[in-house]
Structure 1
């Protein structure tokens, strides 16, 4: 048996095997697949509400066993029930992951998150999340909160099922980003404010007094996980030439409908060409710390950022027809020779928007 390229992948596969061994939990996993394909009233297409998962658990009389509580079991059935449809494991280059994680999210449209490459991709981090190194991987999926509680109306959420390394292996936990906002930057701020408010009502006053620290720490964790997620949502991410699998379809069988997921996970090497380019640029900078005037060096931008542009036939006259495209721009745009050495081309850089004679022209980035 081959050794998995990352221990979190084995943790996720082990958890999925345990769920599948229980007939009741196996039926809930099948229900998650059905809901993904057939939809749920009120929820966007392809978004499975966690409340529907809990309803399926209640119908099957699923009882959690130690050490997993009911809430965690529901999150596992939700995330793994979606992940099993494609079983994509996105193994990030460590240097690329570090650079992307510290890239500010900014005022990007929430609709970009509908461009996840599969229902609940598994992100694998060789060095862990910078703000929380014990988090060495996570599933990410959209969820629909029906609301109904005081001050809470129906809205989208982004859920991270994180795998935290401990002394006895990995254990799952859930991070939630509320998406009832105008853009992703506002979504992070609103989620933090809401979390702190709820914490004040449930915990001691000292926790409320620690608000600046909590906002800084939890904000960094949410922001980094979100930025890594956006890397998968961008236009043509660097996946080493491997295409994500489409979700396993829902097929008719005797007695109903079933999903037959792939048996093995698909490893997608994520950002390794960009990681190589970043390392080459760093090595060159160390060798040539002060290049003389006139010598060609890698051009710089102020900091890494997300480059957003809108395309779509007829979108100039009707903005509602525009489609957002996203590219990640590293803090150092390497020269053409470094791009080629890393297996990249100028086409891998984002388009540069230039205005000429009142028209907007999109030009591919150049090294």
Structure 2
């Protein structure tokens, strides 16, 4: 490829490869979507398409089953069909990303935030991160409504581990990782999936190859990815070519022939995440030591800094009944919100220079 040829993002190349290996799959997904709540069960708006549809396409439909050697095909098909609708590629400012990853995820899994993904499916670049010591190029993330389990909500990740994008169904390219959102924390969510996989393998007469105790290191590898997603779910600082952008899913368009119809994005949309905020953080870090020296002993100036990102919990709902008696705290609602890094005592981030490095 010459320097004058347009670089095709990995995510887009994988989308094209999936479409070529399953001709007609996109039309089948469109048909499933059109039959939602009619001939097919309904599902929530936060899910573009349950993986049950991908299973039907990969198996050929009816009573057919997906063979063991293609067990990952439904997950890959559904994730790419979902990402096809918006094709957002999210690229984090390096400094902001470091700040996000520097705050460990602890306590309960913040489920409610993950239902606020800016698109049905996102692709996040992750140059420099690893999954089980394997370099990670990026990952797809979308929400699953597991019809077979009564509508259990799941966060579905599809890890891009750097293989040939022309072979998206190879485990050396994409690895599906489900996370059950009804679990108390990340480790518990992973263990639920691992236990289910062991049970399925036993039922098929295949020796389970998922050892006990694997959930903890998997949870450690997943935490940075979930941190990045949480930022995207909290009104993120996003720009495209220096201009602010609004993120949303496509809305149906009325057509003369087919009635109301959803149209996929024309092509990939590369989005810079945290450019202004990351620049502000760099300025704060560069000036902090200088300000500390200048103001040593005065106690009058608060040095520019970044208030660390954190979980913010608060109780909502009425505190008192109509007769004035207090409502017990356990009967009120506990809300948990992700608070992104907040610059304190720094210049306007709009005038600062972002640092974004594309993944090649």
TM-score by length of structure 1 reads 0.70
Which residue pairs with 1:327 in the alignment?
A: 339
Note the C-alpha offset of 1:263: 1.4
> Which of residues 326, 342, 346 in structure 2 aligns to 1:336?
346
**2:246 aligned to which of 225, 243, 246:** 243
Q: How does 1:277-356 map to 2 (within 5 A)?
A: 277-285=280-288, 287=290, 292-294=296-298, 295-298=301-304, 303-307=308-312, 326-329=338-341, 333-337=343-347, 339=349, 341-342=351-352
Equivalent residue for 2:211, pick from 207, 218, 229: 207
- Aligned counterparts of 2:265 and 2:258: Cα–Cα separation in 1: 22
Q: Which SS does the other structure have where 1:81 is aligned?
A: helix
Say whether the 8 Å CA contact 2:86–2:119 is kept in structure 1.
yes
SS in 2 for 1:115: coil
Shift of 1:81: 0.9
Between 41-50 and 263-272, report the one with greater CA deviation.
41-50
Cα pair 1:37 1:250 within 8 Å, conserved:
no
Kindly indicate whether the alpha-carbon contact (under 8 Å) linking 1:118 and 1:246 is maintained by their aligned counterparts in 2: yes
Deviation, structure 1 residue 175: 1.1
More displaced 10-residue stretch of structure 1: 39-48 or 98-107: 39-48
- Aligned partners of 2:304 and 2:345 also within 8 Å: yes
**Residues 196 and 89 of structure 1: CA distance in aligned 2, closer, same or farther (over 3 Å):** closer
When residues 205 and 146 of structure 1 are mapped into structure 2, their CA distance, relative to the original with a 3 A threshold, is closer
Give the Cα separation in 1 of the matches to 2:191 and 2:228: 22
Residue 171 (structure 1) aligns with: 173
User: How far apart are residue 41 of structure 1 and its match?
Assistant: 2.4
Secondary structure at 2:250's aligned position in 1?
coil
Cα separation, 1, equivalents of 2:5 and 2:335: 42
Equivalent residue number for residue 360 of structure 1? none
SS at match of 1:122: strand
Contact 2:84-2:264 at 8 Å conserved across structures: yes
Given that 1:163 and 1:172 are in contact with CA atoms closer than 8 Å, whether structure 2 keeps it comes out as yes
SS of 1:123 mapped into structure 2: strand
TM-fit CA distance, 1:231: 0.7
Instruction: Give the equivalent residue in structure 2 for 1:261.
Output: 264
CA displacement at 1:174 relative to structure 2: 0.9
Tell me, yes or no, if the aligned pair for 1:93 and 1:270 is still in contact at 8 Å.
Answer: yes
State the 1:137 CA deviation.
1.2
Hey, which of these two has a bigger chunk of helix by percent?
Answer: 1
The match for 1:156 is: 153
1:103 Cα offset (Å): 2.6
**Which residue in the other structure is 1:78 paired with?**
78
Aligned to 2:86, the other structure's residue is in SS state: coil
Matched with 1:125 is 126
| C-alpha distance 101-32 of structure 1, shift in aligned 2 (>3 A) | farther
If the length of structure 2 is used for normalisation, what is the TM-score? 0.71
How far the C-alpha of 1:159 sits from its partner, in A, is 0.2
Deviations 1:305-354 (A, max 9, x none): 1335688xx87789999987543136xx432337565489xxxxxxxxxx
Shift of 1:136: 1.9
**245-254 vs 316-325, which moves further:** 316-325
1:207 counterpart SS class:
coil
Question: 2:36, 2:101 → 1: CA distance?
Answer: 29
Q: Aligned pair in 2 of structure 1 residues 41, 265: CA closer, same or farther (>3 Å)?
A: same
Residues 307 and 328, structure 1, Cα contact 8 Å, conserved in 2: no
How far apart, in 2, do the equivalents of 1:315 and 1:139 lie?
Answer: 39
- Quote the offset at 1:155 in angstroms: 1.1
- The whole-number CA distance in structure 1 between the counterparts of 2:26 and 2:61 is 10
Alpha-carbon RMSD: 4.2
SS at structure 1 position matched to 2:225: helix
1:18: which partner in 2?
Answer: 17
Matches of 2:140 and 2:162, distance apart in 1:
15
CA distance, structure 1, for counterparts of residue 233 and residue 313 of structure 2: 12
Task: List per-residue Cα deviations over 1:285-318 (Å, max 9, x = no partner).
Answer: 45567561225413575x531335688xx87789
